[in-house]
Amino acid sequence: MSYTIYDASVPVLIRGLTNLSKILDKAVAQAKAEDKPLAELIEARLAPDMKPFTFQIQSASDAAKGCAARLAGIEAPSMPDTETTFPELHARLAKTIDFLKTVKPEQLAGAEDRAIVLKFPNGEMKFSGRDFLAGFALPNFFFHVTTAYALLRHKGIAVGKMDFLGGV
């Protein structure tokens, strides 16, 4: 059996979000053990002009569901960016994972050659499915997952590379 665009996308996105959810669990547990305010983590930034931790989780979610939906030619579920607590961020990740689990390999059959067009206020970007996945969707997804991880590390949360990678 050949390695498909499904194999390179949906399971990778599920794993990344699952690992991110476990990292959030560790952050909450450590913050509570150290009597550290969770709000300090929720609002964490590396620079003043940077979006906060909540944005990173929301963006990882959006990148994952948008990637799978575009490759499958379906609508992604709408999720307003209203999360302000760790339980709400956990629920968002769980909802995104649940959506990804509904996307089946046959829905992505031929997606490597599907035209993907992203529209922005100042223009648009056009990709083949393969170029969208490899050159935009996965890098964008991992940018936000990595940034969320880095923000927690910056705030003293004891997570490491294996937390990011998960069980290998």
Q: What is the pLDDT of residues 66-79, one digit of tens each?
A: 999 999 999 999 99
Over range 15-19, report the average pLDDT.
97
Over range 96-115, report the average pLDDT.
96
Over range 26-52, report the average pLDDT.
95
54: pLDDT strictly greater than 80: yes
Rounded percentage of the chain residues whose pLDDT exceeds 70: 99
Over range 102-119, report the average pLDDT.
95
pTM: 0.95
pLDDT grade, residue 168 (50/70/90)?
low
1: pLDDT strictly greater than 90: no
124: pLDDT strictly greater than 70: yes
Superfamily of domain 10-159: dinb family like domain (1.20.120.450)
Burial of 43 (0-12, 13-18, 19+ CB in 10 A): middle
Mean residue pLDDT across the chain? 95
164: pLDDT strictly greater than 70: yes
